[in-house]
């Protein structure tokens, strides 16, 4: 990227870079990139394969189904991409065994100037990749995706919102779900006032800002409590969302 150094850079190592570049060409992320606030680069791990067929996986020792990503191409790719930018990046490995991605972790990641994200496929990474790189291991929930690209996109999507200047209104992140642990945002309404017999609450139409603030706090508290009760009664509900 020419010109000013972006505030936040993400390098994604993947076997399917087109998934990342397609995502980076849309919506808020596209605007943040165009404004020079964020940079997202996708790198194809196969480019570092020494095999004439660009092979990057092999059968697991000990037997078992599927294929495992090999050490050499992944670590070579990681080290080469790290060296492309002067400031080192925090290595992040998307894996079901990692720390659960929540708003607190998003806030931590947003303080980094650069992330280098490793996206697995097949049966995952040869464990020596983890041992050599020592990444922060991150999971988006207790389920398995076909690869690390969708989890990486979720991580990037949540994190860039906290980069100064990305959102038009800086207060947008201060009064929303999970801005405080366990807190869910109050319901929102816009035109029309009445839709299929469902009317906007009168308190939002009266111009009394104090009453509006009180109503929103009560609604937020009630929603948050329902969320706790739903999670307690069905522990899997939060994991799959």
* Domain residue limits, the chain: 8-160, 175-239
122-141: per-residue pLDDT in tens? 899 999 999 999 999 999 99
Q: Is the pLDDT of residue 176 over 80?
A: no
Contact 152, 99 (CB under 8 A): no
The tokens describing 152, both together, are 């990486």
Cβ atoms < 10 Å from Cβ of 166 = 22
Q: Is the pLDDT of residue 104 over 80?
A: yes
Q: What is the pLDDT of residue 241?
A: 30
For the whole model, what pTM was predicted? 0.84
Do 8-160 and 175-239 show the same overall fold? no
The 10 Å CB-count burial string (b at 16+, else e) for 196-213 is eeeeeeeebeeeeeeebe
Asked: is 175-239 a CATH 3.30.9.90 domain? The reply is: no
218-230: per-residue pLDDT in tens? 999 999 988 667 6
The tokens describing 62, both together, are 């000990």
Cα–Cα nearest to 35, from 131, 210, 164, 217: 164
Q: Phi, psi at residue 147, to the nearest 5°?
A: -165, 180
Given pLDDT bands bounded at 50, 70 and 90, which one contains residue 173? Answer: low
Tell me how far apart the alpha carbons of residues 38 and 5 are, in angstroms, rounded to a whole number. Answer: 9
Tell me how far apart the alpha carbons of residues 134 and 142 are, in angstroms, rounded to a whole number. Answer: 22
Tell me how far apart the alpha carbons of residues 122 and 144 are, in angstroms, rounded to a whole number. Answer: 11
Query: For 203, which DSSP code?
Result: G
Tell me how far apart the alpha carbons of residues 231 and 110 are, in angstroms, rounded to a whole number. Answer: 27
Tell me how far apart the alpha carbons of residues 150 and 131 are, in angstroms, rounded to a whole number. Answer: 24
Given pLDDT bands bounded at 50, 70 and 90, which one contains residue 175? Answer: low
**DSSP bridge pairs for 115:** 10, 90
DSSP-based three-state secondary structure for 90: strand
CATH superfamily entry for domain 8-160: SPOUT methyltransferase, trefoil knot domain (3.40.1280.10)
Contact 138, 94 (CB under 8 A): yes
């Amino acid at each position: 990227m020419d010109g000013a150094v972006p505030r936040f850079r993400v390098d994604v190592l993947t076997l399917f870079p087109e998934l990342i570049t397609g995502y980076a060409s849309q919506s808020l992320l596209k605007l943040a990139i165009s404004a020079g606030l964020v940079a997202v680069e996708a790198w194809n791990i196969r480019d570092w394969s020494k095999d004439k067929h660009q092979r990057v996986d092999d059968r697991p020792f000990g037997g078992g189904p599927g294929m495992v990503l090999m050490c050499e191409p992944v670590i070579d790719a990681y080290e080469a991409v790290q060296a492309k930018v002067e400031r080192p990046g925090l290595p992040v490995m998307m894996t079901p065994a990692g720390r659960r991605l929540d708003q607190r972790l998003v806030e931590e990641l947003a303080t980094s100037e650069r992330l280098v994200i490793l996206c697995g496929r097949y049966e995952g990474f040869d464990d020596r990749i983890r041992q050599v790189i020592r990444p922060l291991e991150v999971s988006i929930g207790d389920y398995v995706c076909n690869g690390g690209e969708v989890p990486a996109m979720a991580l990037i999507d949540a994190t860039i919102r906290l980069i100064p200047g990305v959102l038009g209104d800086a207060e947008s992140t201060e009064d929303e779900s999970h801005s405080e642990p366990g807190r869910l945002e109050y319901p929102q309404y816009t035109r029309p006032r009445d839709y299929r017999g469902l009317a906007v609450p009168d308190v939002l139409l009266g111009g009394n800002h104090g009453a509006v603030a009180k109503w929103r706090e009560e609604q937020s508290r009630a929603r948050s409590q329902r969320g706790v009760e739903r999670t307690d009664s069905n522990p899997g509900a939060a994991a799959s969302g």
